[in-house]
Amino acid sequence: MTAAEVLTVRDEARWRERLPARESVFGSVEFASLEQQHAGVDARLFTLQAPHGTVAYPLFLRSIGELAFAERVDRALLDAATPQYTGPFAPQAPDPATRAAFSEALAGWCAESGIVTEFGHLQPWKARAELLEPAGLKRDREIVYVDLTQDTDRLWRSFTHACRKNIKRAKREGVRVFAAGGEADARELHRIYELTMDRQQALENYYYPPGYFASFPELLPDNSRILLAEHEGRVVAATLYLHDDTDVYSYLGGADHAAQHIRPTNAIVDEIIRWARASGKQRLVLGGGYAPDDGVMRFKASFSPLRAELRLYRRVHLPEAYESLRGAWRDHHGVGAEAAGFFPPYRAAPPA
Q: What are the tens digits of pLDDT across the range 200-224?
A: 888 788 899 889 999 999 999 999 9
Is pLDDT at 177 greater than 80 in this prediction?
yes
287 in Cβ contact with 259 (< 8 Å)? no
pLDDT, tens digit (0-9, with 9 covering 90-100), for 309-335: 999 999 999 999 999 999 999 999 988
- Give domain status of residue 138, yes or no: no
At how many degrees (to 10) do helices 183-199 and 210-219 cross?
130
Q: Are residues 273 and 343 in the same domain?
A: no
Report the domain count for the chain: 2
106: pLDDT strictly greater than 60: yes
The pTM for the full model equals: 0.95
Question: Residue 72: which CATH number?
Answer: 3.40.630
| Same-domain status, 284 and 341 | no
Query: 184 and 273: one domain?
Result: yes
Read off the pLDDT of each residue in 48-63 and give the average, rounded to a whole number: 93
Torsion over CA of 331, 333, 338 and 342, rounded to 10 degrees? -130
Q: Are residues 173 and 58 in the same domain?
A: no
Supply the pLDDT for residue 2: 62
Whichever domain contains 216, its CATH number is 3.40.630.30
Do residues 166 and 45 share a domain? no
Going by the DSSP 8-state scheme, the letter that residue 201 receives in this structure is T
Average pLDDT value over all residues in the chain: 94
Q: What domain range includes position 258?
A: 143-309
Q: Is residue 186 part of a domain?
A: yes
Rounded CA separation 209/285 (Å): 25
If you ran DSSP here, which 8-state letter would residue 123 be given?
Answer: -
Q: What is the mean pLDDT of residues 172-195?
A: 95
Distance between CA atoms of residues 176 and 190, nearest Å: 19
Nearest-10 crossing angle of helices 210-219, 29-38: 160
Residue 321 and residue 116 in contact, taking contact as beta carbons nearer than 8 Å: yes
The answer to whether 343 touches 119, Cβ cutoff 8 Å, is yes
- Inform me whether the pLDDT recorded for 351 exceeds 80: no
The fraction of the chain above a pLDDT of 90, given in percent, is 84
Q: What is the mean pLDDT of residues 146-172?
A: 97
- pLDDT for 1: 52
CB atoms within 10 A of CB 302: 20
The verdict on 286 and 256 lying in the same domain is yes
- pLDDT at site 51: 84
The CB-side HSE value for 165 (13 A sphere, CA atoms) comes to: 4
Mean pLDDT across the stretch 288-295? 81
Specify whether 272 is located in the same domain as 174.
yes
Q: Considering the domain boundaries, does residue 352 fall inside one? A: no
